Amino acid sequence: MTRVVRGVGWLLIVSGVVVLLYVVYLLWFTGLETERAQRELAETWALTVPDVPVAGEQPDERAEEVEEEEEVALGDAFAALWFERDGERIVDDDVLFVVSGATLQLLRSGPGHYPLSDRPGGAGNLAIAGHRTTYGSPFWSVDVLTEGDTIHVVDRQGREWVYAYREQRIVAPTDVWVVGEDPLGSGAPTITLTTCHPRGSAAQRLIVWGELLDDPIESTATGTTPQEIAGKVEG
């Protein structure tokens, strides 16, 4: 009997240690995996994206070009993303490289583009998912966005698209309408960001919406020109 109790005791101790190690891995070490993946994405981005700033192009010209874009392979760099308030970068210190695809495996590399949603600058809804906690926590503080903030997306052609923050909402994980064609019902091109809520749980989702500005604002935040984004790899 004593041996059985001792055995169960050891089993519980080992299980506790394994759980603790797993939590430590999730909270601290997954970020290293994402950091490495983001560096690799930055390297491919530097090779892919043309080295010309194109903010201020006419929307019509850009819309035509969007139609001609090639398919991006799952896991490849799809876009670069950052947030601004009064010319200062917020939410994340770094420019985030968005991967093509939004499976859990792909999201280990950074925010991911829902494959069935629109492209940056498209007339529909551009939907991007990102971790709130773990794997670099790219959307940890995405809830700080308020009226007047902007969401900047650079596509693989180097074009910068600026979305004005509109609203955020907490929804159920099954509310797929939020990544549908026109979730705000405004008819305007939209960006939808999805992440976990509350932090550390996937019980709900925090959704952030923005609408495309007709006249893109050229970013004034440091380190966000196409050359600077691509040049990140040299830093």
Which residues form the interface with another protein (CB under 8 A)? Answer: 18, 22, 26, 102, 104, 107, 112, 114, 127, 129-135, 139, 171, 173-176, 178-179, 194-196, 200-202, 205, 207
Nearest Cα to Cα of residue 204 among 168, 169, 167, 172: 172
Q: Which residue in the block uniquely carries the two structure tokens 């930055």? A: 42
* Nearest-approach distance from CB 120 to another protein, in angstroms: 19
Distance (Å, rounded) from C-alpha 54 to C-alpha 52? 6
DSSP line for 104-132: TTGGGSS-EE-TTSPPTT-SSEEEEE--S
Are 82 and 72 in contact by the 8 Å Cβ rule? The answer is no
* Nearest-approach distance from CB 31 to another protein, in angstroms: 13
* Nearest-approach distance from CB 181 to another protein, in angstroms: 14
* Nearest-approach distance from CB 217 to another protein, in angstroms: 28
> In this structure, what DSSP letter does residue 53 have?
-
- Measured from the CB atom, the residue of 56 and 200 that comes closer to another protein is 200
- Measured from the CB atom, the residue of 108 and 156 that comes closer to another protein is 108
* Nearest-approach distance from CB 15 to another protein, in angstroms: 9
- Measured from the CB atom, the residue of 63 and 104 that comes closer to another protein is 104
- Measured from the CB atom, the residue of 121 and 130 that comes closer to another protein is 130
- Measured from the CB atom, the residue of 2 and 174 that comes closer to another protein is 174
* Nearest-approach distance from CB 26 to another protein, in angstroms: 8
Helix (H, G, I), strand (E, B) or coil at 147: coil
* Nearest-approach distance from CB 199 to another protein, in angstroms: 10
* Tokens matching residue 108: 């280990």
CA neighbours closer than 13 Å in the CB half-sphere of residue 108: 9
- Measured from the CB atom, the residue of 58 and 174 that comes closer to another protein is 174
Sign of CA dihedral 218, 123, 159, 112: positive
Determine the residue type at 69.
E
Are 233 and 80 in contact by the 8 Å Cβ rule? The answer is no
- Measured from the CB atom, the residue of 63 and 176 that comes closer to another protein is 176
Are 152 and 171 in contact by the 8 Å Cβ rule? The answer is no
